């Protein structure tokens, strides 16, 4: 981050769409100026867009409100970064190797060749590779995480290949580029961005887990010896608890309110008193505790799936996401695992000047913004051109000025007529159907 730039980002979570604009400084600081969000349970499921038209209208409204924010206006959003999160995202470990001439010094080019080989690794053709994250390298027989400059006759590396269903990115491109005529500067894997921003180097070296408990998905990333070791997305979250409460003849909105204000993930003594709407506290508690214990059990089981044990994550469990704010959820994680669990916080070099936004609620989009700010020198916002007066100082005749590029696009609420733009991007993604494989869920 070498200069002040405006960055825009959208994060499509399992129940809502949230957009933010931040400004970076030369000192590596990020100030989040404006945040807007809309709930989108009907059009976004498990982090994937299902209704393109409805989602495009919601995103259009978010972007319009962001542009109207006093700290942003009169700038217009011309491009943005997109956070990727959803149930099909997960990691697959692969190992690749290159034979070298004797006494070859490992260069950036050799390391890049390894990564390209990892990205080309044959996988299930229903999945798309979106990133390759290095875990460890071997130069000859020497293990290292910093191979550049070492000398040997071979180099191998284990990468965590991050994959997802192709329609995840394809639907985002169709929504933002085709319908809203916005350029996507890049995709950021939200979970990895959160791990980079929220977790300390000490936690990663000790080994730790980051659990992002959302509405319909829970993303688990595990770090060991300073690097990513495991990444998976579970199709369950806080909304499952809410839906359980609707079985007590409550509307979902009322059930959500009761969950937030009156419920705990921990079992309570007694509980026979009458609660709101004539419901017994014990009936509510039984549902909330049972589902919370199921979510926690599945989170902790990922340690086993990663081939690790609790001693390998001595740095503890860090929780983010709206579902982690349920009273007692971090304590339940601590009790069940024997590890310290706590809420993650934004570092002090990321500040939120939009006082309507809670830092706990915007952790994911803030992480995407910060990651985007480190990817290059892109400016996502455009300033309107200023009219110049004639040399005489007289006011110019009122002639219609040509609209700027950002003003040429139609109102976003009528975005459905914008089909056809950037199909050259969208056509590279195949459209297989999403499955309902819940094989990683334990009862």
* pLDDT for res 428: 38
Domain co-membership, 179 together with 41: yes
pLDDT, one tens digit per residue, over 33-59 is 999 999 888 899 888 899 999 999 999
Q: Is the pLDDT of residue 236 over 50?
A: yes
pLDDT, one tens digit per residue, over 140-155 is 999 999 999 999 999 9
- Rounded to an integer, what is the distance from CA 299 to the centroid of its chain? 18
Domain co-membership, 53 together with 172: yes
DSSP string, 279-346: -BHHHHHHHHHHHHHHHHHHHHHHHHHTT--GGGGTT-EEEESGGGGSBTHHHHHHHHHSS-EEE---
Q: Per residue in 330-349, is it b (16+ CB within 10 Å) or e — as a string?
A: bebbbeebebebeebebeee
| Domain-located, residue 125 | yes
**Structural domain count of the chain:** 3
Domain co-membership, 188 together with 296: no
| Domain-located, residue 440 | no
Q: How far is CA 69 from CA 21, 33, 59, 74, 413, in A?
A: 10, 8, 16, 9, 19
CATH number where 339 lies: 3.30.420.40
| Domain-located, residue 393 | no
Domain co-membership, 95 together with 179: no
Domain co-membership, 331 together with 212: yes
* pLDDT for res 157: 96
Domain co-membership, 207 together with 273: yes
Domain co-membership, 240 together with 291: yes
Domain co-membership, 120 together with 262: no
**Secondary element (H or E) of residue 154:** strand 151-164
| Domain-located, residue 396 | no
| Domain-located, residue 398 | no
CATH number where 145 lies: 3.30.1490.110
* Residue that terminates a domain, selected from 144, 164, 184: 164
| Domain-located, residue 144 | yes
| More confident position, 437 or 15 | 15
pLDDT, one tens digit per residue, over 378-423 is 999 998 876 655 555 555 555 455 444 444 444 444 343 333 433 4
Domain co-membership, 239 together with 327: yes
Q: Which residue has the tokens 């300033």?
A: 383
Nearest to 313 by CA among 205, 208, 204: 208
Domain co-membership, 24 together with 173: yes
pLDDT, one tens digit per residue, over 60-103 is 999 999 999 999 999 999 999 999 998 889 999 999 999 999 99
Rounded to 5 degrees, φ, ψ at 104 are -80, 135
| Domain-located, residue 411 | yes
Mean pLDDT of the chain: 86
Domain co-membership, 53 together with 184: yes
| Domain-located, residue 435 | no
Domain co-membership, 319 together with 207: yes
* pLDDT for res 268: 79
* Residue that terminates a domain, selected from 324, 343, 362: 343
* Residue that terminates a domain, selected from 343, 358, 375: 343
Segments forming the whole domain that contains residue 291: 201-343
Q: Is the pLDDT of residue 24 over 60?
A: yes
């Amino acid at each position: 981050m070498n200069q002040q730039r405006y960055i825009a980002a959208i994060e499509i979570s399992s129940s809502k769409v949230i957009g933010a604009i931040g400004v970076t400084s030369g000192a590596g600081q990020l100030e989040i100026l404006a945040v807007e969000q809309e709930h989108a349970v009907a059009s976004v499921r498990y982090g994937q867009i299902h209704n393109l038209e409805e989602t495009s209208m919601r995103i259009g409204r978010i972007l319009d409100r962001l542009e109207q924010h006093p700290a942003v206006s009169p700038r217009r959003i011309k491009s943005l970064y997109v956070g990727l999160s959803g149930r099909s995202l997960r990691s697959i470990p692969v190992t690749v190797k290159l034979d070298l001439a004797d006494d070859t010094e490992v260069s950036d080019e050799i390391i890049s060749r390894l990564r390209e080989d990892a990205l080309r690794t044959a996988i299930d053709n229903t999945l798309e590779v979106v990133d390759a994250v290095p875990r460890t390298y071997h130069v000859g027989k020497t293990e290292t995480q910093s191979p550049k400059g070492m000398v040997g006759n071979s180099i191998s590396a284990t990468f965590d290949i991050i994959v997802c269903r192709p329609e995840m990115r394809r639907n985002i491109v169709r929504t933002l580029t085709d319908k809203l005529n916005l350029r996507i500067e890049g995709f950021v894997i939200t979970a990895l961005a959160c791990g980079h921003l929220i977790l300390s180097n000490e936690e990663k070296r000790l080994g730790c887990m980051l659990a992002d408990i959302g509405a319909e998905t829970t993303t688990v990333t595990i770090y060991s010896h300073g690097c990513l070791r495991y990444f998976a997305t579970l199709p369950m979250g806080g909304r499952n608890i809410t839906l359980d409460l609707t079985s007590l003849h409550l509307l979902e909105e009322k059930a959500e309110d009761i969950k937030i204000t009156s419920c705990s993930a921990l079992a309570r003594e007694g509980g026979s008193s009458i609660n709101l709407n004539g419901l017994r506290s014990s009936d509510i508690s039984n549902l909330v505790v049972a589902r919370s214990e199921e979510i926690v059990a599945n989170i902790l089981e990922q340690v086993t799936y990663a081939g690790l044990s609790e001693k390998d994550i001595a740095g503890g469990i860090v929780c983010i996401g709206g579902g982690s704010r349920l009273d007692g959820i971090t304590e339940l994680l601590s009790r069940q695992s024997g590890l310290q669990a706590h809420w993650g916080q934004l570092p002090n070099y990321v500040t939120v000047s939009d006082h309507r936004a809670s830092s706990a609620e915007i952790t994911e989009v803030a992480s995407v913004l910060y990651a985007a700010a480190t990817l290059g020198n892109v400016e996502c916002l455009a300033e309107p051109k200023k009219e110049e007066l004639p040399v005489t100082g007289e006011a110019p005749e009122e002639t219609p000025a040509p609209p700027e590029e950002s003003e040429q696009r139609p109102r976003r609420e009528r975005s459905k007529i914008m089909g056809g733009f950037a199909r050259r991007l969208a056509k590279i993604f195949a459209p297989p159907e999403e499955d309902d494989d819940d094989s990683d869920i334990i009862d």
